[in-house]
Amino acid sequence: MKISGCVEEIINSRNLLSSILAEEAITQIKRGRVNKPNVIWIESTGCSGNTISLLNANFPDVVYLLNNMINLKFSNSLMTCEGEEAFEIFLETIKGEFILVVEGAISTRENGLFNVIASYKGKKITALEAVKLSGNKAKHVIAVGTCASFGGVSKANPNPSESKSAKEILGRDVINLPGCPSHPDWIIGTLAYLITNGAIELDAEGRPLLFYGFTIHDFCPRRTYFNNRIFAQNVGEPYCMFRLGCRGPVTRTDCPTRKWNSGVNWPIGDNTPCIGCANAYFPDGMEPFIRL
Amino acid sequence: MEDINKIKEDLERILERIRELYSMEFLALCPIEKEYYKNMIIDSIDGACLKLEEALKILRQNEEKRELREFTLDELANFDGTNGKPAYVAVNGIVYDVTLIASWGGGSHFGVLAGRDVTDEYNKCHEGKDKLSKLEVVGTLKGSNL
């Protein structure tokens, strides 16, 4: 079974998958079997949510990740360099081998002028330009968050910035890690897997099967209520929220076992229906979020 | 009901047989003999599964078919899946029940709400795909040509 690791991970619900993957990657880097990859993180037309989510990572935490697993060469939000100096690092990095991480959809209106990420020698560098410049040279492109993966909130109707997903812009294989935001474990786990194995098994929508192999409904703690047709009539009732518009059955993530905020809780654990934030049709196709 | 009772008796007989085989397997000394009894047990379980399938078939046949009714668009609008009401949609003049269909949580499906004639939306997204045969038909739409 190719996804046996994933099944085990979910059944055991110990959520150690990404930390095991990260440990393995770090060990291999230390032994010199693989190189510590350069990573460029371009924050495009988004809300920085995925950066914030990444900062919330633990086992391994983000400092450990940055020190031991990757060389984060460029990140609009996290890097300490600024201005032209920062963009020079970007230009230097894309000459070699690197992994590109795109956060947020990419605005294409007015040639991308709605999202300028740098100014270099008097010229405004748009996110569109930067993604195009680096996207085709990158070893892997990881689209982090629903916006980068499928357009998400940035592309929602009426889409004034004419945003597009990373795949639409680049036209090459992109590893999609949807979620609003993407879970830090998904990001770190995928990076670690790519470092050690070179490639990761994806589904038809470009999502790693490791983290997106099952629907939320499959492992929902309230699944027995659904099977016995016991439905919540109103928010706050501790039963199946399917009749309130829960999108668990159409959303593929491992939220029920991984949970959020360092594994503290998740929407259904807090009596809120799933709004399908990791779905390709989020948010337009997932509305109404609650139907009473 | 008679058929079901007969199947129940058969199942009880199979259970009896499995118990018997189990004790024989326990008492046997030769490993080959043990293996033989184990295989017999598996065969008996297979037989029981077939009986259960038969029972299910009979139950499905006996299941009362819901009486088909005719809906006007106004009537259909009541069945929008809110407040615990069932969720119905009409496609090509036929009304389907989508209350418990996984992708129809809360009577909404990728931005399409229940309680309406959704023929256009259906044709736009699922043309050429057979999504309707799995749904339960509850009636027809009044004034449609079908």
Rounded-to-integer distance, Cα B14 and Cα B47, Å = 8
Which of B15, B40, B62 is the endpoint of a domain? B62
Identify the DSSP state of B83: G
Write down the pLDDT at residue B145.
55
CA of A49 to nearest chain B CA: how many angstroms apart? 24
Render each residue's pLDDT in chain A as its tens digit; 292 residues: 445 555 555 555 557 788 888 888 999 999 999 999 999 999 999 899 999 999 998 878 889 889 999 999 999 888 888 889 999 999 999 999 999 999 999 999 999 999 999 999 999 999 999 999 999 999 999 999 999 999 999 999 999 999 999 999 999 999 999 999 999 999 999 999 999 998 999 999 999 998 999 999 999 999 999 999 999 988 888 999 999 999 999 999 999 988 898 888 999 999 999 999 999 999 998 988 888 8
Would the ipTM clear 0.85, i.e. be above it? no
Query: Closest partner residue to B108 among A217, A231, A288, by Cβ?
Result: A288
B125 touches chain A (CB under 8 A): no
Q: Is residue B83 one of the residues assigned to a domain?
A: yes
CATH topology for the A217-286 domain? Cytochrome-c3 Hydrogenase; Chain A, domain 2 (4.10.480)
Provide the 10 A C-beta neighbour count for residue B34. Answer: 15
Full domain range(s) for residue B39: 2-62
Structure tokens at B81: 């899946």
B81 touches chain A (CB under 8 A): yes
- Same domain flag for B42 and B89: no
Domain with CATH 4.10.480.10 in chain A: 217-286
Q: Is residue B46 one of the residues assigned to a domain?
A: yes
Write down the pLDDT at residue A1.
41
Q: Which of A229, A241, A243 to mutate to test the interface with B (most CBs of B within 10 A)?
A: A243
Provide the 10 A C-beta neighbour count for residue A142. Answer: 27
Structure tokens at A240: 């199946």
Nearest CA in chain A to B112: A285
Query: Closest partner residue to A292 among B82, B100, B103, by Cβ?
Result: B82
Name beta bridge partners: B137: B96
CATH 3.10.20.30 fits A4-212, yes or no: no
CA of B112 to nearest chain A CA: how many angstroms apart? 8
Q: Is residue B12 one of the residues assigned to a domain?
A: yes
Structure tokens at B9: 């008796």
Q: What are the φ/ψ torsions at residue A50 (nearest 5 degrees)?
A: -75, -30
Tell if the CB–CB gap between A246 and B102 is shorter than 8 Å.
Answer: no
Structure tokens at B13: 């007989």
Rounded-to-integer distance, Cα A241 and Cα A221, Å = 12
Structure tokens at A175: 């590893």
Which of B30, B47, B62 is the endpoint of a domain? B62
Tell if the CB–CB gap between B81 and A249 is shorter than 8 Å.
Answer: no
- Same domain flag for B134 and B114: yes
Evaluate if residue B38 carries a pLDDT over 90.
yes
Write down the pLDDT at residue B61.
74
Write down the pLDDT at residue B136.
86
Which of B40, B62, B84 is the endpoint of a domain? B62
B83 touches chain A (CB under 8 A): yes
pLDDT 10s digits, B46-80: 999 999 988 888 887 766 566 788 888 888 999 98
Write down the pLDDT at residue A19.
85
- Same domain flag for B80 and B50: no
Q: Is residue B55 one of the residues assigned to a domain?
A: yes
pLDDT 10s digits, A210-222: 899 999 999 999 9
Q: What CATH number is given to the structural domain containing B95?
A: 3.10.120.10
CA of B75 to nearest chain A CA: how many angstroms apart? 19
Please report residues of A whose CB lies closer than 8 A to that of B105.
Answer: 242-250, 273
Q: Which of B79, B82, B103, B112 to mutate to test the interface with A (most CBs of A within 10 A)?
A: B82
Query: Closest partner residue to A291 among B82, B110, B111, by Cβ?
Result: B82
Q: Is residue B146 one of the residues assigned to a domain?
A: no
Write down the pLDDT at residue A149.
95
Please report residues of B whose CB lies closer than 8 A to that of A273.
Answer: 105-106
Q: Is residue B33 one of the residues assigned to a domain?
A: yes
Write down the pLDDT at residue A216.
93
Domain with CATH 3.40.50.700 in chain A: 4-212
Residues making up chain A, counted from first to last: 292
Name beta bridge partners: A39: A72, A99
Identify the DSSP state of B68: P
Q: Give B125's pLDDT tier (boundaries 50, 70, 90).
A: confident
Residues A105, A145: contact at Cβ < 8 Å?
no
Q: What are the φ/ψ torsions at residue B26 (nearest 5 degrees)?
A: -65, -40
Spatial CA neighbour of A275 closest among A154, A158, A178? A178
Rounded-to-integer distance, Cα B85 and Cα B97, Å = 11
Residues making up chain B, counted from first to last: 146
- CB < 8 Å from B in window 197-226 of A: 217
- Same domain flag for B135 and B75: yes
What DSSP letter does each residue of chain A carry, written as one string?
-TTHHHHHHHHHT---HHHHHHHHHHHHHHTTSSPPPEEEEEE-BS-SHHHHHHHT-TTTTHHHHHHHT-EEEEETTT-S--HHHHHHHHHHHTTS-EEEEEESBEE-GGGGTT-EEEEETTEEEEHHHHHHHHHTT-SEEEEESHHHHH-TTTT-TT-TT-EE-HHHHH-S--EEE-SSS--HHHHHHHHHHHHHHS---B-TTS-BHHHHSSBTGGG-TTHHHHHTT-B-SSTT-SSB-GGGT--GGG-B--HHHH-BTTTTB-GGGGT-----TTSTTTTGGG--SS--
Q: Is residue B107 one of the residues assigned to a domain?
A: yes
Q: What are the φ/ψ torsions at residue A232 (nearest 5 degrees)?
A: -70, 135
| Angle between helical axes of A17-30 and A4-12 (0-180°, round to 10) | 130
Mean pLDDT of B116-131: 87
Write down the pLDDT at residue A13.
52
Domains held by chain B: number: 2
Write down the pLDDT at residue B1.
65
Quote the percentage of chain B above a pLDDT of 70. Answer: 94
